[in-house]
Structure 1
Amino acid sequence: MPSRPKARGSRAAVRLSAAGDSTPILWYSSASSTESPHSKRCLTTLRASRVSLPNTGACLYPPEPPMSSLMKSLTLRLTGAAFAAALLAPAARAQVVLSEIAFTTNAQWIEVHNAGTKDVDLSNWSIYHAASSTPGTHWYPFPAQTTIKPGAYLRVHWLAPLQANTPTDIYTGQSIHHFLFGLSAVALDPTRGALALYNTQNNSLMNNPASIQDWVSWGTTGFARESLAITAKRWTSGSFAPASTGNPLPSLAYDYTTVGKPSSAREWILDSSPTPGRDNVGNASVTVIGRPCQQSSNPSFAAALVTTGLPIKGNENFAMGIDRKLNAGEIAVQILAFSPDAMGSISFYGCPIYANIMTAFYTSIVPAVGGRAEVNYGKLGVSGVKFSSVWAVIDPNRGLLTMTNALELRFGD
């Protein structure tokens, strides 16, 4: 999958970078005296599954264009063709990737997606399954003459009885003879395991990091050959996607639009609405608008509005909140509006509000859970709508205010 894009902006003041990564995506200027010292921290990116605000990291200064309203509404739209164009960077996912995993008993499948622009012959490829049970390692060889076309999806029905394969569906069979090296196979455990795409079926190459094209661990870490995936930059050390729990069991789906450190668990989501043969994201998106502003010069008071995951239909973990814990005495207030205000034309105590408050339809104090002010919209079952949100963090005892950037949320349908 693509490496992190570097958008262009004006002279450095606000750095955009992905969660857990100090590598900057964008620097953005700050001219107003009311602008936040948050300008030394990063904001967010469109469609980033989690954003943090580190203070460290070397940064580059791109050329300085004139300030414009467009620069106040930064949108990095990375879908289909944009991702294909950026494929195969040194630390990015490969052209053919693991897309979605279904754990339902007697109906398990592993979906593979060609995110590139060319046909890929999978005839000599294999799927590796690292399980917690003995012997713990299993390989399934793709059949001869298996080709996946650009943008196509291919489901491998795990331990399904043999039947005629098609360009979209392959059935592994259940006999030891249908798997490599006489190791047979075991069912996918929804609580823990790992899968990899190998570009070989040759036993002598299975310990070569270059053979691994993609990897995902879930439930825990430390599986056999996981270190090879880390060496190949197909996975991040210590990272694992969430285990699948509940009834029915959600699938584990890859968020193709994630912009950030590639090949880590934060690009995988639990999806209660599996999408075999389709994009896992659909029309869901998050757009960053404006930038934070605060009255206090204390950087600990700065706050940006961020999300966990994307507002994909079925993603029950999607949440929105500020990027830090509340300080003692602070309260957080969310404002929901039908439309954004990229110009920030209305100000409150000197801080622009990047949501059109004339279209506001809901305002509430957000209770802090574990010190964090966050709202889980995924569990509310919201779908097929679009609205904007901006938050205020207020310290009434000291009379201090922080206004966050705004987010425009499009919930998938």
Structure 2
Amino acid sequence: MLTNKGNLIAGIAFCSTLVRVISGPIVLLVLSNKFSSEELSIYFVFFSLAAVRQLIESGAGSVLKQRLAYYYIRNNTKLGLVKLSSFVNFTFFYFLVLATMYFFILFFFGTHFIQSKEINVDWKIPWFLFCIISFLSTLIVPLLILLDSFQKQEKLQKFQLISSFTYTIVLIVTILLDFGLYSIVISLFISNLILFLFSIKELWCQIRIIKIRKSFFSNTKKCFLDVKSFIFKAFLSFISIFSFWNLIPLSCFYFTPTEFSAKFNLTWALLKSGFYMTQVLNLSQVTIYTKLSLEPKKCFVRFSKVFIACMLFLIFGYTAFITVKFFDVSLFSGTMTGEFLYVLILVCIFYSPFVLISDFSRCFNNEFFSHDVFHASISCFVIFSIGFYFQSNDYFVFSIAVLLFFLFLMWNKYKRWRNAILITS
């Protein structure tokens, strides 16, 4: 039954991701027809600046999610219930602080950044409202974390699917009705409101069941000390992954001609979307892994199946991309070709296991592979930067060899870690 539940969650997560992938080009098409070039630039600036939340959070949400799930499946004991109650309060407090920091950094830095350009667009009010909505959406995150931790993953994925679909429809309609930059604010507000209402209804029932009645600020310091080192390791993994996918394109932009940079960055973005879908499939199973951690053998079997499915899906997606390129479809005419494209695909394929295994390891309350992810990410960034500087493909091929070397070390480390857990269980 747990396997069927996991498959259902993975299916809904895939559909939710598919909605985002399909709706992206449609929204861009509508934007290009209805927005002026200045409005279009501001649109992308809004969301680029909003990405600072990922840097501020830096994986702490996943740490708290797994810690909550760990104590939730042990709440039949007095100690487990007290721990769970404390971490629920800490999660709300943590994201309240995070949302406040996020709002001020986003608003003041973003305002200064946008004002540095001469733009004949009324952006100030939409920008302020966008920052307010971003602040409120950050406050919703704890609700999503709790739903996931309380083994309500299928409900959560359905709510997120409905929210994503609503956002796309409302955004397209408001753009067509000439709401301009206010379209972003309206669509974000409605989609987040729907997500909040669904989540709070489901969560309220769950909180009443486990009878969480501790004061809001109880044991906050103790909880922070409990997860401090864990959050730091998750931060290291997150920054490493963030650097791999975001600093390499910046390096390409800095060192190479504009035409090459444009092709590389478009190709990299497409490869990243394939990787993102596999990561979503794996992350949708994280609290399932945590629940199964009481029976480690079943947990590792489950992860092995998901890992194989993710890798096969990634390989299939990249193969389909190459096939489309072979027939020279105009949609991908602006991407890289030839041997360099194959090198990039192999780099992404060999990089994926680092992230999948690292995400899985957290279900055992450990960030055992953060340094492996760091070494792989930074090595690729350095090698790619050197390759861009000298404009030589030989360096990019070398990155595959380096990834395989680190992957070999990590795989042996993973087997030792797995065997140690199975022996002691």
Q: TM-score with structure 1 length normalisation?
A: 0.26
Is the helix fraction higher in 1 or 2? Answer: 2
Does 1 or 2 have the higher relative contact order (CA < 8 Å, sep 6+)? 2
Is the strand fraction higher in 1 or 2? Answer: 1
